[in-house]
Structure 1
Amino acid sequence: MKRFNIKGVTVATWVRISVLLLALVNQFLTITGNSVLPFSDEEVEKFVTFIFTGVTAVIALWKNNSFTRAAQDADKMMKAEKEKSLLNNEN
């Protein structure tokens, strides 16, 4: 049987596990009729919609959006240069 290496666990892993446990406890309490979070369904919906819109906007703006012919040509040149660079590094 494999042993757990608690010392090697990252902070991100602990955060994910903690959030999961919090979600499970909250779900159990919600099922039993005890709402711990002081938010209405409408407030949660607004917040989720806001976060979704924000994340979508950041992703859309972060990507290279080439609408003009010059930008599209530059993208092709950049791709060719990257491929050329990769070929040179392999040799």
Structure 2
Amino acid sequence: MDKGAIVRTAVLVIALINQVLVATGLNPISGSEDVWGEAISSAITVGAAVWAWFKDNAVTARGKYQQQVLKDKGLK
């Protein structure tokens, strides 16, 4: 794993842990106890999940091309 993958995974794990804690009524981050805090926590979790998914999958034309080149050369 490269540094970017580690950072994306760490951000996603922290966001998911925070989301679970907020959903169960625990508030690890100051300000996450009100409705706006829950909305912000949810937005961060969704953003982190989309970021991790997008970076780890070939969803762009360039990414698909790179995946095909790797497959053709027997590297994947």
The question of a shared fold, defined as TM-score above 0.5 by the shorter chain, is answered with no
Which is higher, the Rg of structure 1 or of structure 2? Answer: 1
Q: TM-score, normalised by structure 1?
A: 0.36
Q: TM-score, normalised by structure 2?
A: 0.42
